Amino acid sequence: MSPSVAASAFDWDIFCRVVDNFGDIGVSWRLAKGLARDHGCAVRLWVDDWEAFSRLCPAALNVADVLHQDGVEVRRWSDPFPPVVPAARVVEAFACELPAGYLAAMAARTPAPLWINLEYLSAENWVEGCHGLGSPHPRLPLLKHFFFPGFTARTGGLLREPGLIEQRIRFHADTRGRGEWWRHLGVPEMPAGACVVSLFAYEQPGLHTVLRCWADAPQPTVLLVPEGRVVGDVLRFFRSPEAGVGACLREGALTVVLLPFLDTAEYDRLLWACDLNFVRGEDSFVRAQWAARPFVWHIYAQDDEIHHDKLDAFLARYLAGIDDATAAATRDLWRAWNGEGDAAAAWPRFAECLPRLAAHTRRWSDTLAASPDLVSTLVQFSELAVK
């Protein structure tokens, strides 16, 4: 079968260039699966970094360029780009720029495909005014629409699979199953009264001061660290550069367990099981909110420090309605974690507020879950746009 004939059956093409390790492809992969599984769409996902995708989808390790998984056809985005007939709807994830030949093929189609640029998630107010707007291509007869995920009814919402919240509730209710899952991960028996924390972050030069704070604290802390960029900072604290997956490191009241890289379902369970989650980027940031546990966000750094505006915009929404002391402690730790202050100095006040923050975060998660999910909103937008 020729590429052109095979391509004619696709409802959606999604293009993803991996910039932020797993955030870009994490969002794109969830989107592709949601369109296929929950809306019966024929979906083709193009990804330029096959190795990064393989970490999220191990089945890709066994194929070179094309994978059929979870109802999605995944293809390696290579150069030169192959001649294919564009799908009826095209998602350009995070302004990744479509191949020139594919753009020309879009322009040659009648009617032209619906072209959507899926933007990065932001809680900033201006997002509502830009969501859904169109921008004509400077040369070709094509119109690109900007689709913004977000936290309000005037945005595209957040990625959330049907039944996700119910799965989380069942996980918490199954004490025995949760204990077996910990053992499956290789986590030793938790000390009595331990605060269980997951850590997924970018490089964090000041991490050693936080680890020292936990090591010297009266309450035990169990820190679970999946493979990722922050592991090197953890190992430097323990002076154990050779430690690998499965290692259990101890210093005072602190126990650190190095976990393997977890697939999306296992990572969700990790977030559900912990008392506090340090997350990064966009995909794990959203999953932490569905976990309904207190969390700390390590935002992706941008030029001119504009990411601090995004951080503050989210904090303003997330902390609305909580008491002033908890809001201040949370802001101080989040800002310090993102390079604006001393995280170890901010930790004690934040730790005192954790019970109140936990109740608030459950309410925040429930409120978000009452709104339509991003995949459903995107499908609705596409149906209205092509009428």
Catalytic residues: 24, 282
Q: How many other C-beta atoms are found inside a 10 Å radius of the C-beta of residue 358? A: 14
Query: Cα–Cα distance between 207 and 234 in angstroms, integer?
Result: 7
What stretches of the chain show up as alpha helix (H) in DSSP?
A: 3-7, 23-39, 50-56, 100-108, 126-130, 164-173, 175-185, 207-215, 231-238, 264-273, 283-291, 307-318, 324-337, 343-369, 374-385
Taking each helix axis from N to C terminus, what angle separates 164-173 and 264-273, rounded to the nearest 10 degrees?
A: 50
φ, ψ at 267 (rounded to 5°): -65, -40
Distance of CA 167 to the CA centre of its chain: 18
If 0-12 CB within 10 Å is exposed, 13-18 middle and 19+ buried, where does residue 335 land?
A: middle
Strand 66-69 relative to strand 72-76, pairing: antiparallel
Amino acid found at 108: A
